[in-house]
């Protein structure tokens, strides 16, 4: 089974690179969300690239089985590996991949690291290529699950000039007074990214919402102030 070959190759490549001291440090930093092998990201990606390069690419069904298996493995690096594999295969993925398996991955052993990585690797590219998936982002935003909401709020991060600013503001408004840290932080980061291009619009959004969560305000205002200062320097 192709997915099994990919799993086996990842495990054979990563286990010898384990480092107990680094693993303990990583686990502390990530608040004990999962055990770690203790492999730094550049080393991890180099090892995975070498392990997977000889293998045949996975079909969407095989990729689904692969990432589900990797998510069940205890050490966090296997989840990072699964995200990298999805990024490598994202070109041919269909909209259905967002529901199975990505939605479950967002909410399984969730923490900011995997949720945000899934966003940049697969959620944002899929929604960009399939605008009808915006409806799914609204569903996630209103699901009551903080990690799905975070993923939805941030789903346009990285789009730069292609960002749908009206949609971004509308999604932020749904949770603008939410004091849940991970949602407020997502709003702040999404607005901060937008402020690099549209600082006046983001400032106006902040001003229209005096009760915006403090952490969201702080991140967004930091982005606006940085953009304004940068523009002043260029004059």
Pick left, alpha or beta for residue 133 (phi over 0 → left; psi -120 to 50 → alpha; otherwise beta): alpha
Classify residue 200: in a domain, yes or no.
no
pLDDT at 158: 95
**pLDDT by residue (tens digit) across 152-185?**
999 999 999 999 999 999 999 999 999 999 999 9
82 contact partners, CB below 8 Å, separation of at least 6 = 66, 67, 70, 71, 105
Classify residue 188: in a domain, yes or no.
no
Q: The CATH number of the domain where 34 resides is what?
A: 1.25.10.90
Classify residue 26: in a domain, yes or no.
yes
Would you say residue 235 has pLDDT above 80?
no
Classify residue 4: in a domain, yes or no.
yes
pTM for this prediction:
0.96
**pLDDT by residue (tens digit) across 26-51?**
999 999 999 999 999 999 999 999 99
Classify residue 94: in a domain, yes or no.
no
Rounded to the nearest integer, the mean pLDDT of the chain is: 97
pLDDT at 178: 96
- Residue 99's pLDDT band, with cuts at 50, 70 and 90, is very high
CA 58 to chain centre: 22
Task: Check whether the bond before 80 is cis (ω within 30° of 0).
Answer: no
Would you say residue 87 has pLDDT above 90?
yes
Classify residue 211: in a domain, yes or no.
no
Q: What is the DSSP letter of 58?
A: P
pLDDT at 45: 98
**pLDDT by residue (tens digit) across 117-155?**
999 999 999 999 999 999 999 999 999 999 999 999 999
Range of the domain at 17: 1-89
CA–CA distance, 59 with 194 (Å, rounded to integer) = 35
Contact between 92 and 64 (Cβ < 8 Å): no
Domain count, the chain: 1
């Amino acid at each position: 089974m192709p997915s099994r070959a990919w799993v086996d190759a990842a495990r054979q490549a990563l286990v010898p690179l384990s480092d107990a001291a680094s693993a303990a440090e990583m686990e502390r930093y990530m608040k004990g969300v999962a055990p770690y092998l203790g492999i730094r990201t550049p080393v991890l990606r180099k090892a995975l690239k070498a392990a997977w390069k000889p293998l045949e690419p996975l079909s969407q069904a095989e990729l689904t089985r692969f990432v589900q298996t990797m998510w069940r493995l205890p050490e966090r690096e296997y989840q990072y590996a699964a995200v990298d594999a999805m990024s490598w295969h994202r070109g041919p993925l269909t909209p259905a991949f967002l529901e199975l398996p990505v939605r479950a991955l967002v909410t399984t052993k969730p923490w900011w690291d995997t949720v945000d990585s899934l966003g940049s690797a697969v959620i944002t590219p899929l929604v960009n290529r399939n605008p009808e998936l915006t409806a799914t982002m609204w569903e996630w935003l209103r699901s009551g699950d903080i990690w799905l909401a975070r993923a939805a709020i941030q789903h346009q991060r990285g789009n730069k000039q292609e960002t749908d600013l009206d949609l971004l503001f509308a999604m932020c408004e749904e949770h603008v007074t939410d004091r849940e840290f991970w949602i407020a932080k997502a709003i702040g980061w999404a607005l901060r990214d937008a402020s690099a291009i549209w600082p006046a619009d983001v400032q106006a959004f902040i001003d229209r919402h005096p009760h915006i969560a403090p952490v969201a305000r702080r991140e967004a205002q930091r982005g606006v102030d940085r953009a304004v200062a940068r523009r002043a320097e260029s004059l």
